[in-house]
Amino acid sequence: MARILIADSQDEDRKLLVQALSYESHLEVVDTLEEGSELVSLVGPLNVDLVILDQELPGPNPHDLVGRLRRQYRHIGIIITGSAPAIGDLRAAMQAGADDYLPKPFDPPAVSDSVEVVLRRVEDRRHEAISADAGSGPHAAKVIAVYSPQGGVGKSMLACNLAVVLARESGRPTVLVDLNLQFGDADLMLNVTPERTIAAIIQRMNQLDGDLMESFLTLHEASGLKMLAAPARPEYADTITVFVVEKVLQVLRERYTYIIIDTPSFLQDTTLTALDHSDEIVLLTALDLLALHNTKTALAMMQKLRYGTDKVKLVLNRSNADVGISPDDVEHTLEYEISAYIPSDGRVAVTSVNEGEPFVLSQPKTQIAQAIRRIAYQVMGREDDYLDEVPEGPVGPAHRGGGGFLRDMFRR
């Protein structure tokens, strides 16, 4: 499904465009705007594939908008519309990075034609980025493990949504590895049906290379994310050794820029191997005593293993829960800085799991989705590109107090 954003101040023209595109079942107009000030900031959260904008759009200069869109979202399609364009306008739009120009008054078949051509170009750009990466030999891959010593704290929720944002918005090949070998559920969260899982790799270990690896991966169509699923049955988990995990990561590194690992909370040797081979560990915690206690122990272990602050990033889930412990207390207790906050939103999180559609796709404008997009931009090292719609810092009521009591509990 291609997602389209229309920006035009003329009611009639907007309606005409929406109507012309509504006949195509693979196209969806996700929003319409009458002026341009919010345009760039909406493209990411709405997961837009194609922007159709009028060159007379009120607000910022439309050609500047085209330039900003192109710099920030290299792969999207951009169509400029306008009546009686001067040659100079056309050139300026194309030079800024537009893909096509549609003259007004609109002719519906010409609209569909232009949209199809530009969407094909978007697809080509995405594939080119992937094959350019595949062909370029060693490249800067980044392995990110999402870990927490606490069960049910939101690891899979974060791993799946983070991987989907990275796949869609980085323009880089991204893969999710479900290392929750006994009870992996990333396939359910993404609503995909893996034909093969990591268990099948064992018989082919000696031949395992990038091409063969592709045959074990499952595609998540809506985002382009690939996934290596956990074994279909818990009893196969034991067959996955440390050696298998090392080999899998080594082979994935050759082709994928972002490799996200979902982990179990139980620290088995395969999890430790994954943490050791990760460039970054997202250590997820929550505002409850048990989680904090376990996180403290995990941090101590990681410090012993000489993982530095550049490797271990502490992320606080359900950061706005009003439970008598504040984010400040967490930092004091753990003596560790929180890198990111994810607010609690049961409705969005649970519906998303039940429907098998990651909320960064189905509910991109919610605070919980925005918080995860922000983490994705941190991972990409593109924090400056992240256009903020959520306030900085702890999201929601930051409950203070209780610090002394907590500090006492953890002082040993």
CA–CA separation, 30 and 364 (whole Å): 11
User: Which residues 6+ apart lie within 8 Å of 120 measured at CB?
Assistant: none
List residues bridging with 103 in a β-sheet.
Answer: 82
- 385 touches 375 (CB < 8 A): no
The pattern of x and - marking residues 162 through 201 that bind ligand ATP according to CB under 6 A reads ------------------x---------------------
Report, in Å, the least distance between residue 263 CB and ligand ATP.
Answer: 8
Give the x-and-dash track for 379-408 against ligand ATP (CB under 6 A). Answer: ------------------------------
Per the CB < 8 A criterion, the answer to whether 314 and 285 are in contact is yes
Q: Which of 156, 218, 320, 352 binds Mg ion (CB under 5 A)?
A: 156
271 binds Mg ion per the rule CB under 5 A: no
Distance in Å, CB of 83 to ligand ATP, minimum: 48
Nearer to Mg ion, 154 or 364 (CB): 154
Distance CA 2, CA 320 (A): 34
Diameter over CA atoms, the chain: 76
270 binds ligand ATP (CB under 6 A): no
Instruction: Identify which of residues 155 and 373 has a Cβ nearer to Mg ion in the complex.
Output: 155
- State the minimum distance, in angstroms, from the CB of residue 336 to ligand ATP: 19
353 binds, among ligand ATP, Mg ion, none (CB under 5 to 8 A by kind): ligand ATP
Residues 276-335 close enough to bind ligand ATP by CB under 6 A: 317-318
By CB under 6 A, residue 234 contacts ligand ATP: no
Radius of gyration of the chain (CA): 23
- Partner interacting with residue 344 (select from Mg ion, ligand ATP, none; CB below 5-8 Å by kind): ligand ATP
Q: What is the residue type of 313?
A: K
Q: Which is nearer to ligand ATP, 188 or 202 (CB)?
A: 188
**Is 364:390 a contact under the CB 8 Å cutoff?**
no
Residue 145: which of Mg ion, ligand ATP, none does it interact with, CB under 5 to 8 A by kind? none
Interaction partner, residue 346 (Mg ion, ligand ATP, none; CB < 5-8 Å by kind): ligand ATP
344 lies in the site for ligand ATP, by CB under 6 A = yes
CA 380 – CA 257 distance, rounded (Å): 10
Question: Would you give the distance in Å from CA 211 to the centre of its chain?
Answer: 25
| Smallest gap from residue 391 Cβ to ligand ATP (A) | 16
- Which does residue 103 touch among ligand ATP, Mg ion, none (CB within 5 to 8 A, set by kind)? none
The contacts of residue 111 (CB under 8 Å, 6+ apart) are 17, 20, 21, 102
Place of tokens 């550049």: 310
Q: Which of 103, 151, 393, 401 binds ligand ATP (CB under 6 A)?
A: 151
- The window from 31-39, 119-127, 154-162, 392-400 that contacts ligand ATP (CB under 6 A) reads 154-162
Sign of CA dihedral 20, 39, 75, 369: negative
- In the chain, % helix, strand, coil (3-state, to 5) comes to 45, 15, 35
Nearest to 24, CA basis, from 121, 123, 127, 114 = 114
Smallest gap from Cβ 134 to ligand ATP, in A, equals 30
Nearer to ligand ATP, 111 or 179 (CB): 179
Query: Which residues, including other chains, have CB under 8 Å from residue 405's CB and lie 6 or more apart?
Result: none
* CB-based burial label for 81 (10 Å; 0-12, 13-18, 19+): buried
Residues near ligand ATP (CB under 6 A) are 148, 151-157, 180, 264-265, 317-318, 342, 344-346, 349-350, 353, 368
Residues that bind Mg ion (CB under 5 A): 155-156
